[in-house]
Amino acid sequence: MGPLAAAGRRGGASGRRGLARTGNCQPASLEEYAAGVAERVPEQLERDGVPGAAVAVVVEGELAWADGFGVTDRDTGAPVTADTVFQAGSISKSLTAWAVVALAEQGTVDLDAPVEAQLEGWQLSESSYPTRQVTPRRLLAHTAGLPFVIGGLPPSTEQLRDGQVDQQLFAVEREPGDGFLYSNPGFAVLALLVEEAGDAPLPEVMEEVVLGPLGMDDSTFALEASLAERAATGYTADGEPVPVDWPAPVGASGLHTTSVDLARFVEATVDADADGEVLGAEALTELHRPQADTAGVPHLLMADASGLGHFVETLPNGDRAVAHAGEEEGWVGGYVAVPATGDGVVVLTNSRRGYPLLIDEAAVWADWRDLDSLRFTRARDGLATALRAVIGLLIGASLVLLVALRSYLGTGRRRLAPWSRSRWVARLARLSAAGVLAAAWWGVLAPPLATFVPGLTHWTSAAVAVWAATLVASAAATPTRDTPTGRRTGDSR
C-alpha cells in the first residue's frame, strides 16, 4: 500500500477510516469507494462540527460520482445533495484565470503587457516599484508584488473603481517578478481586466466565457434567487450561521457552485485534448505550468509552485497535480486534478471547520486512484506528528517537575510561599516562561492549527495549560534550603 493507506491504518491526523482499497491492495471499485465516502463523511461531519458537505470524483476525464451528506441548514435540516450550492472562496481564482487566458486567446488581453495599460480610468497606487512590470501573467501567478491581505476588498468592481477601498492594498510592495506573494488584491485587478476585455459586468463575462461553455449551469458570480434557494447556509468556526449571499471580495472569491459543476470544471482541467470550447490544449498546458515556487505559510505547505490561477505540484512519479482550496466566512472547499491520469476530486463544505474533511478525502481519493501522496496531506500528517510529540514532551516534563516538587515539599526543602522574595529572579523567570508560552500558543499558534487538526489542537492546549500551571506552581514553592549543609535562606528580613 502507498503511504496514505498506511496513514489510514494508523488513523491519520483525524482518524481516517474506510480507505478505498480491497484486501489484496488492488484499487477498489467506484462502488466500494463511494460506500467508503458514505461511511466516513457523516462521522467526520459530526466529529468536527461541520453541518454538511458534497463530494464528487472525476475518473478518466468524466464525472463518475457525486453525493451530498449532512444538512444545508441546521434549523431546517434540509439535506445536502450533489446539486447544493456552496460559496467556493478562492477556488474562484482558477475560473478567473480561465477567463483571462481565454480572453488572451481572443486577443483582448495581453498576458505580458502592463495591466494598467489595459485598464481605462484605473491605476495601481503609487509605489517605489515600477507598476509597468505588473502584468496579467504575474497577477495570475501571484508574482506581481501586490500584498498578501485577507480583508478589506469590496464585493463589487463598482466599489473598486470608485475608490471605496484602502488604496494601500493596491500598492506594489515587492519587485514584480521577484518570487511568490499570494495576493487577493491582484485578483481584484484581474476582475477589472475581465470586465474591461469582455465589455460587460464580471458575472456576465464569466458566464459567457467560462461557466456557460463548460456546462456549469448551476454556477454564478452573482447569486440569484433560484440558486439561493438551493444554497447551503455557511457556518463560522464558532458555529454561527452566515447568510448564503455573504458578500465575497471581488475577484479573489465570489463563485457560487455545486460539486457537480465544479467537477465539470475539473473534467475540462484534465482534458489533454481540449476541444477549444474555452481553451485550447496549449493554453491549458500554460495554465498549469509552474510559474514560481511557493513561499510562506500556508501556501508553502500546499504545493510546490503556483501556476496561472492554480497551485501545481510535481508528484514523485513525474505527474503534475493542479489544485486550489477556497474558504469564505462560512465555507471551505477545494479540488485536486491530475491531467495526466484524468483524475480529480471535489469537496465542498458549509463550515470554516471543513479543512480536515477536505484534506482527508483528498488523501483517500489519491490512494484510491493509486496516485502519489499530495504535499498538503503530507504536511498535515507531519503537523499532526509534531503536535503529538509536543503533547508527549509537555506532559512528560510536567510530570517530572510535579514529582520533584512534591518530593521537595514533602522533605521540607521547599514551602509554598508565593510572595516570598527568596530567589525571586529564578521564580519570575518561570512565571514569565509560563506567560509567554500561553500567549504564544493561544494567541498565535492555536487558532490556525485548530483549522487543520482540531482534535490534536485541543489536546495540545490541555498540555500547554498543564505545563504552564506546573511552572506557576514551581514558582510558588520557595526554597528553604539552598545547600546540602542545610544553611537556611528563608525570606529576607
- pLDDT (tens digit per residue) in 229-262: 999 999 999 999 999 999 999 999 999 999 999 9
In this prediction, what percent of the chain has a pLDDT beyond 70?
87
* 373-405 pLDDT per residue, tens: 898 898 889 999 999 999 999 999 999 988 888
Whole-number Å distance between alpha carbons of 43 and 280: 42
Cβ atoms 252, 188 nearer than 8 A: yes
User: What's the whole-number mean pLDDT along residues 315-339?
Assistant: 94
DSSP classification of residue 336 = E
Q: Which of 267, 291, 290 is nearest to 279 (CA)?
A: 267
Whole-number Å distance between alpha carbons of 197 and 261: 25
Rounded to whole angstroms, what are the CA distances from 15 to 40, 55, 368?
Answer: 10, 19, 17
Q: Which amino acid is at 204?
A: E
Whole-number Å distance between alpha carbons of 22 and 467: 44
Query: β-strand 477-479 against 343-349: which pairing, if any?
Result: unpaired
The pLDDT value given to residue 99? 97
Above 90 in pLDDT, residue 418? no
Structure-model confidence comparison of residues 165 and 8, the more confident one:
165
* 2-54 pLDDT per residue, tens: 322 222 322 333 333 344 444 444 568 999 999 999 999 999 999 999 999 99
pLDDT band at 412 (very low <50, low <70, confident <90, very high): low
Q: Which of 91, 92, 132 is nearest to 115 (CA)?
A: 132
Whole-number Å distance between alpha carbons of 252 and 241: 22
Q: Which of 53, 58, 97, 38 is nearest to 263 (CA)?
A: 58
Above 70 in pLDDT, residue 322? yes
pTM of the model: 0.85
The pLDDT value given to residue 116? 96
Whole-number Å distance between alpha carbons of 229 and 127: 45
The pLDDT value given to residue 488? 46
